[in-house]
Amino acid sequence: MLKLILFEIKKMWNANFFRILILALLVFFIAYYVFVYINTTRAEDEIKLLDEVIQRTEQTIEEDSVALESAEDSEVKELEESIAFHEEWLEKEQTKVEIFEEENWDVLLQMEIDNNEPMIGTKKFQNETHTYTHPTLFTYETYVAMSKWMQDKDVVPLLPVNILSYVTLYDREVNSGSAADSEFIMNIIKENSNKYSSTSIHYLFRLFGLLFSFIGVVFFLFLFGDIVTKEGLGRNGPIYLLQTQPIQRYKILASKFLTAILTSLLILVCAVVFSFIVGSIFDRFGDWDYPVVIYGEDRTFTLMSMGVFLVKATSLFMVILLFSYTILFLFSILTKRVLVAIGLTLGALFVGMKMSEGLVTSSIAQYIPFQYFSVFEVVTNELALTLDNFNLTYANGIISLSIASLVMLIVTYVVSFVQSKKGN
Amino acid sequence: MIIEVSNLKKRYKKQMVLKGIDIQVETPQIIALVGPNGSGKTTLLNCMTNLLSFQEGEVRLLGKKHTDASLFLKVSYLQDNRILYGNLTGYDHMKFVCSVQKIPISKIKEVAERVGMEKYLKKRVRNYSLGMKQHLLLAMVIINEPKLLLMDEPLNGLDPTSAINMRKILLELYQEGTTIVVSSHNLDEIDRLTNTIYFMKDGALLKESLQDISSKNYLITVNDIEKAQKVLKDKSIPFSVSGEYQVGFEETDIDLQSFIDCLNDNDITITDIEVQKVGAEKRYRELFEEELSS
């Protein structure tokens, strides 16, 4: 079997179409890293911003001091309070500058904990436990928990660090005069919360976020779309060369399937290696333990290491590919035409996903493999929360996709067997 | 038993393409499979090698059922060049065959030299000419030193030198004990290879024409063609004229010695005698007269 797989890999690698797609993927990896690198907020960016704020604050203090000299009695108190407030503010900002200069993340995180932890009690006291106004109780709780997690594990936070650049699924509005303002501000907060980092692990997180989607599945289907049909099934093609060697027939199809799976895994491993190399060269490796929020029922949550999260996401995506390849193989054997097979596979996946949308609240939702194509949302339970069905879990996704793949493989084998018995 | 095909019947939809073929081969030999296009030659070979299924009958090669993949360790099938991968080199193809047949890679060079393809072994097949592809196909089927070699149109696209070389290799394999079944349209080459010819017509094997159907045809070069013609006419000996100095006759009409004596007795000098086998073509003409006339 190994010899067949190696031969399949050789055939694939020698095909120009495959090479072009791999090259395009590499170009995309590089371009995306450049994009992430440019958009990464660094300590020096924060210092620059703080310097501007400090300058403005100092100016305000100076103006207030000048005004104080010629102020009337009624204005004195107000101006003194303003100066005191700005001086206190200035001190904080200067402390922050020192923190960023020294990269003393522990202190920064402690400041965030000190600033936000009291809000948890306040929110509970005010009975604001189930509101949707940013920052919600859930947002404070997860923010503080993440900060503590990062402190405990010596994790470098993603910049900027403040509650206004962090949202959760429960944050749907802000306190503002009008709905339009609320939406506008919410969009700014969401934009700020979309933090970039050019470290290896965070780049990989973003890269896999893009790749582990329907578009990623489409790419891989095109990459391996002709693995069966190029053999010229049902006519005098290279399949006859394989079939006149001392190889059992089922191994020919099985080796192709394994080649597609193993090569897909290899490509993902290459993506990991690429991330590690470019991240380490241009930034640093990053923190395996960076926290990812996993949503629970009734506004509960747990935190997961980003490394573990990526492993789980990769495994789910691999099972999705496995399932997609079984459909591709079945259509390849039935139609014997590459574009038709790819088209029908994409059509089947699309229709399956659309149809499953209508069944999200049904008791069988977790058994439908098409429910799990949003990999990150499944692993974080965001999908379960959004669709209000906490049966749509990572574990259920792995199980239902695996079982569906097995069923499809059996169907494909039976179809292939019947076709060979019919004598093409 | 090397080949055992019993009552092999195959039909595509309602059309019967193989009508109960029986072949039994016990000792190594070279067998030619001859017939017009569509007569079922390739279908028969494909059925024998389990590339196509069939509705009735049984096939055993070297004592094993035709569905047993392990028989390809000692049975090789040279097929149409469409089985080759254009993106791979000849070497890649042979390396693959070696790997699945458990043959040392070192044998590739030896076989490539024997076939005469060592110069382009590492070129991609998409850049091969028709003849080069045939060389590669031949190399791939002989590298495992088969006991049974099935060949479908092996001479397609071969230049005369390559055709002679292929014939030489096939005869060597036969000498080494390999049974060869070769389907071909090249009746001259078949005559040079074997006397055992199986004719196929409309999916049936014409058994009455199986063995020793060949005869010889002679071309005699003489110094005086006009005189030779007159003498042969007077003696009522059937002959044909070829060019300005040659008269031809078939062994079935008169034996060589009598023909020579006849010319010598009339002072006609013979400068050359060329022998040609005409069995395959002659028999083909007889069997497929209808197709030829239409």
Residues with Cβ within 8 Å of residue A39, at least 6 apart in sequence: A196
Q: Residue B95's pLDDT is what?
A: 94
Q: Name the residue facing A236 among B50, B72, B82 (closest C-beta).
A: B82
Ranking A83-87, B142-146, B189-193 by mean pLDDT, the lowest is B189-193
3-state secondary structure of B51: coil
Mutate to test the interface with B, among A235, A244, A419 (most CBs of B within 10 A): A244
Measure the CA–CA gap between B81 and A236, rounded to whole angstroms. Answer: 9
Residues of A engaging B, defined by a Cβ cutoff of 8 Å: 3-4, 6-7, 10-11, 14-16, 232, 236-241, 243-249, 420-424
- Please check the confidence at residue B114 and state whether its pLDDT lies above 70: yes
Q: Name the residue facing A241 among B71, B83, B87 (closest C-beta).
A: B83
Q: Residue B210's pLDDT is what?
A: 41
Helix axes B256-265, B225-234, angle to 10 degrees: 110
Inter-chain CB proximity B83 and A238 less than 8 Å? yes
Name the segment(s) of chain B with CATH classification 3.30.70: 216-277
Ranking A44-53, A402-411, B146-155, B278-287 by mean pLDDT, the lowest is B278-287
- Please check the confidence at residue B211 and state whether its pLDDT lies above 60: no
What's the average pLDDT block by block, 10 residues per block, for chain A (424 residues)?
88 90 95 95 90 92 86 82 90 90 91 92 87 89 95 92 89 78 84 90 95 93 86 76 89 90 95 95 93 93 96 96 94 88 93 86 86 94 90 93 94 85 61
A237 CB neighbours in chain B (<8 A) are: 82-83
Ranking A67-81, A238-252, B97-111, B184-198 by mean pLDDT, the lowest is B184-198
Inter-chain CB proximity A11 and B71 less than 8 Å? no
Residue range B216-277 forms a domain whose CATH class is alpha beta
- Kindly report the backbone phi and psi dihedral angles of residue B65, in degrees, each rounded to the nearest multiple of 5, phi listed first: -65, 145
Q: Residue B208's pLDDT is what?
A: 47
What letter would DSSP give residue B173? H
A19 CB neighbours in chain B (<8 A) are: none
- Kindly report the backbone phi and psi dihedral angles of residue B242, in degrees, each rounded to the nearest multiple of 5, phi listed first: -130, 115
Helices (H), A103-136: 105-125
Inter-chain CB proximity A241 and B51 less than 8 Å? no
Mean pLDDT of B63-72: 90
- Please check the confidence at residue B244 and state whether its pLDDT lies above 90: no
Contact B11, B196 (CB under 8 A): no
Q: Residue A56's pLDDT is what?
A: 92
Ranking A257-266, B21-30, B181-190 by mean pLDDT, the lowest is B181-190
Name the segment(s) of chain B with CATH classification 3.40.50.300: 3-209
Inter-chain CB proximity A423 and B52 less than 8 Å? yes
Mutate to test the interface with A, among B66, B80, B100, B151 (most CBs of A within 10 A): B100
Report the alpha-carbon angle A56-A62-A66, nearest 5. Answer: 145
Q: Name the residue facing B79 among A7, A240, A246 (closest C-beta).
A: A240
Domain spans in chain A, listed from the N-terminal domain onward:
2-39+200-422, 44-103, 104-195
Q: Find the closest chain B residue to A243 by CA distance.
A: B51
Measure the CA–CA gap between B31 and B214, rounded to whole angstroms. Answer: 13
Percent share of chain B, pLDDT over 90: 26
For all residues of chain B together, what is the average pLDDT? 84
Inter-chain CB proximity B82 and A238 less than 8 Å? yes
- Count contacts between A and B (CB, < 8 Å): 74
Q: How confident is the model at residue B209 (pLDDT cuts 50, 70, 90)?
A: very low
Q: Residue B287's pLDDT is what?
A: 67
ipTM metric: 0.74
Inter-chain CB proximity B79 and A238 less than 8 Å? no
Inter-chain CB proximity B79 and A247 less than 8 Å? no
Tell me, which fold does domain B3-209 have in CATH? Rossmann fold (3.40.50)
